Structure 1
Amino acid sequence: MHRFLNPDFLLDTAAARHLYHDVAESLPIVDYHNHLPPQDIANDRKWDDIGAIWLEGDHYKWRAMRWAGVNEEKVSGSASFREKFDAFAAVMPRCVGNPLYHWTHLELQRYFSIREILSPATADSIWEKTQAMLAEDSHSARGLLRRMQVRYVGHDRLPM
């Protein structure tokens, strides 16, 4: 039995595995649709916690939380990022089958080396593990882009 999000996740054929692992995996990324504000990249922002980096402006996560009936205070309101993170963790078990569930756990694995499934039972552990990492240069805005091998960043927002 394969573990959740194994190295061949979504690679169902030998051709798919070959194309990804032998051709594409090591290529740099051209990120044509980045959600980081340009000033965060320019200033090489460091986030205080995973709540801030994940829930400050991620409309995909907000949509899932609203769908699950989370009070707006804990979605885009004035609740602390820890409260927002706990609310998001509580929604995760209901998102199985949604790409957001996969994206969330791929981010935990690839950028924090965390294989735990996000839920209310694991929220404290994940919060604590990511807290220390986010203080490191490797997890600043530019540090994360370097780790992802991003060579070009586009942005989807025009100045107002």
Structure 2
Amino acid sequence: MEKKATGIVIKAFGNLLHVLFEGDIKQGEVSFVKLANRLFASEVIEIASNVAKIQVFEDTSGIKLNAPVEFSSHLLEAELGPGLLTSIYDGLQNPLEKIAEKAGFFLSRGLYLKALDRDKKWDFVSKIEVGAKVKRGDFLGEVKERYFTHQIMVPFA
């Protein structure tokens, strides 16, 4: 298993942090700054040698020099699928109703939830025959969410 890159904060300008890192990272990668027992999501926006500039997506109060940073090896992305159109999200695609259930009506620092409900069952209508050969991007079927029909595809990754 590949070891994930790590680093430490060496400069801070509001929500822009400079991080001295070891390992391989890429622009657009999601990273997490550790403060006490919480992780704060951020994105790598620039890399110069072994220093990365990362933008933290929430209040950085309390983050100090030498704070540890973990790099996820995943790019910032949005999750798509059934349930997306019937929820309200913040900028990190946290479902606000679920956040309110956990933390009240004020967003809690370092709290992140899955965008889509994994427990909800959807009626799937297959558009291919059992045993058919499929490839990335092929349509498998559809799921209706109120007035919208989601086309379910073979993942690209």
TM-score by length of 1: 0.23
Q: Select the structure that is richer in helix.
A: 1
Question: Which structure ranks higher in relative contact order (CA pairs < 8 Å, sequence separation ≥ 6)?
Answer: 1
Q: Which has the larger radius of gyration?
A: 2
